[in-house]
Structure 1
């Protein structure tokens, strides 16, 4: 994947995170992503930096979605 494509993917994932946070009504912490200090607008960062950020952000989003699904399981049977 080219650097430009990776930056685009990074931006899309950031929008997914923002949309999720708006719907949930609170900020979700993505410590691993935040610690990297790479944002989609950081075009001066290397391709490797953006790749690490994409994986960290994707992992953070999926972890949050998985924990949300675990909370919604109903014990009642139909």
Structure 2
């Protein structure tokens, strides 16, 4: 993956995190992500640093989503 694509993915994950937090009022634990100090707008950072940030952010988002209670989906069509 090219650096530009990685930065784009980083930005998309940040938007997913922000949207989830706005919709649920739950904060996603992203201590590892914060410690890295790399944001999607940090274009001067290396590809490796963005890769670490993407994995840290993805881990935080998926961990939060795993804790959400699953609501059963109706088998009947609307």
TM-score, normalised relative to structure 2: 0.85
Provide the TM-score with structure 1 as the length reference. 0.85
| RMSD over equivalenced CA pairs, Å | 1.6
Give structure 1 stretches of 5+ with no counterpart.
none
The gaps in structure 2 that reach 5 residues or longer are 73-78
Bigger helix share: 1
**How many residues matched?**
72
CA apart distance, 1:63: 0.2
TM-aligned CA deviation for residue 21 of structure 1:
0.2
User: More deviation in 27-36 or 56-65?
Assistant: 27-36
4+ runs of 1 displaced by more than 6 Å? none
Deviations 1:41-73 (A, max 9, x none): 00000000000000010010000000113xx57
